[in-house]
């Protein structure tokens, strides 16, 4: 059985409250998990269950997501702001050089946090993400960015109509079957329940916020930072990831000083819940090897 989790809220400098939940304890470094865009903390539950007996595992909701405060137009939702929110959570919990994990957009968040607070990071784990400009490479389409720019413009220009239409589409029971047919998920490993939770998260935050954030993450890059990252890193990619193709993960891995690479065969962008056992095993090895040596060398 898992230890009873603790949870609460922490205020941001611009008047919002961020929800956090901490589960487990142990002698190992704390693990702090950063979500993808529009995603709740449920994607990390397989990792929480695996590590909570030996590590403190923290999940939290971005501003405008889950139980955190809703955002208004005055509130920033760019990657540097998300990274500062991450720092607010880790400081509030008094975590000492935790290992920071990022899924999808979360990879950009954890890299930007390293830029802001390099001495406070004990290790970096990128799960199905890239260092920047992810809208340029969706499904390896030459016109990917132009397509996203059009969709973003429509959502920001006609927010109510676009939000109502897209909520209606993703709430249909057939959404799972369509995603499987298009190869966006692995139908043999992803349950309807897990995909339903993701789609419910999208409808809860609303598509105007989703695409407002998408515009920001599309402009962000941490490419310049990579050669100077001293913390050890684990980069996990998925063979059939149409959102952040594995070539981006390989490029991220190749430009980091101390990085290990794992590619999930047969997995999609939902690989975090399609093959959690392989991710957990890789993270466990990374913690016992590279992170432990890095902490010992810097104590």
Residue 3: strand, helix, or coil: coil
User: 26 Cβ partners below 8 Å, 6+ apart?
Assistant: 53, 54, 55, 56
Task: Specify the pLDDT at position 93.
Answer: 97
Task: Specify the pLDDT at position 26.
Answer: 84
Answer yes or no: is 210 within a domain. no
Answer yes or no: is 197 within a domain. no
Answer yes or no: is 167 within a domain. no
Are 16 and 75 in contact, with CB atoms under 8 Å apart? yes
Task: Specify the pLDDT at position 220.
Answer: 97
CB-neighbour burial class of residue 288 (10 A; exposed 0-12, middle 13-18, buried 19+): exposed
Task: Specify the pLDDT at position 148.
Answer: 76
Task: Specify the pLDDT at position 202.
Answer: 64
Task: Give the domain extent around 234.
Answer: 6-143+220-298
Answer yes or no: is 170 within a domain. no
Number of domains making up the chain:
1
Task: Going residue by residue through the chain, which has 299 residues, state the pLDDT in tens, using 9 for 90 and above.
Answer: 666 899 999 999 999 999 999 999 888 899 999 999 888 888 899 999 999 999 999 999 999 999 999 999 899 999 999 999 999 999 999 999 999 999 999 999 999 999 999 999 999 999 999 999 998 887 777 777 887 788 778 877 877 776 676 566 666 665 555 555 555 555 666 666 666 666 666 667 777 888 899 999 999 999 999 999 999 999 999 998 988 899 999 999 999 999 999 999 999 888 988 899 999 999 999 999 999 988 888 87
Residue the block writes with tokens 């139980």: 67
Task: Specify the pLDDT at position 159.
Answer: 74
Answer yes or no: is 156 within a domain. no
Task: Specify the pLDDT at position 181.
Answer: 54
Answer yes or no: is 20 within a domain. yes
Task: Specify the pLDDT at position 206.
Answer: 75
Answer yes or no: is 34 within a domain. yes
- Angle made by CA atoms 221, 33, 53, in degrees to the nearest 5: 155
Task: Specify the pLDDT at position 270.
Answer: 85
Answer yes or no: is 175 within a domain. no
Are 35 and 100 in contact, with CB atoms under 8 Å apart? no
Q: Strand pairing of 123-127 and 99-103? A: parallel
Q: What is the CATH number of the domain that holds 135?
A: 3.40.50.1820
Torsion of CA 261, 115, 8, 24, to 10 degrees: 40
Residue the block writes with tokens 């407002």: 212
Torsion of CA 77, 79, 201, 98, to 10 degrees: -130
């Amino acid at each position: 059985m898992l230890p009873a989790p603790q949870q609460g809220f922490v205020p941001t400098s611009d008047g919002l409250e961020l929800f956090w939940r901490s589960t487990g304890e142990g002698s190992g470094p704390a693990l702090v998990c950063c979500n993808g865009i529009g995603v709740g903390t449920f994607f990390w539950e397989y990792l929480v269950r695996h590590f909570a007996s030996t590590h403190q595992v923290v999940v939290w909701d971005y501003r405008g997501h889950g139980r955190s405060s809703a955002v208004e137009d005055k509130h920033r939702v760019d990657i540097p702001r998300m990274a500062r929110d991450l720092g607010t959570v880790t400081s509030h919990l008094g975590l000492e050089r935790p290992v920071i994990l990022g899924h999808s957009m979360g990879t950009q968040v954890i890299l930007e946090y390293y830029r802001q607070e390099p001495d406070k990071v004990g290790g970096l784990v990128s799960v199905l993400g890239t260092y920047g400009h992810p809208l340029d490479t969706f499904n390896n389409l030459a016109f990917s960015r132009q397509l996203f720019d059009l969709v973003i413009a429509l959502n920001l220009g006609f927010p109510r109509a676009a939000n109502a239409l897209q909520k209606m589409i993703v709430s249909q029971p057939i959404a799972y079957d369509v995603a499987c047919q298009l190869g966006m998920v692995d139908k043999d490993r992803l349950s309807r329940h897990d995909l339903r939770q993701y789609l419910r998260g999208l409808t809860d935050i609303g598509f105007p916020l989703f695409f407002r954030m998408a515009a920001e993450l599309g402009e962000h890059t941490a490419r310049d930072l990579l050669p100077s990252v001293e913390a050890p890193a684990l980069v996990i990619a998925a063979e059939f990831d149409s959102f952040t193709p594995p070539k981006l993960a390989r490029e991220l891995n190749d430009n980091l000083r101390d990085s290990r690479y794992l590619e999930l065969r047969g997995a999609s962008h939902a690989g975090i819940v399609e093959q959690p056992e392989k991710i957990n095993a890789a993270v466990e090895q990374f913690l016992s090897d590279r992170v432990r040596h890095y902490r010992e060398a810097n104590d």
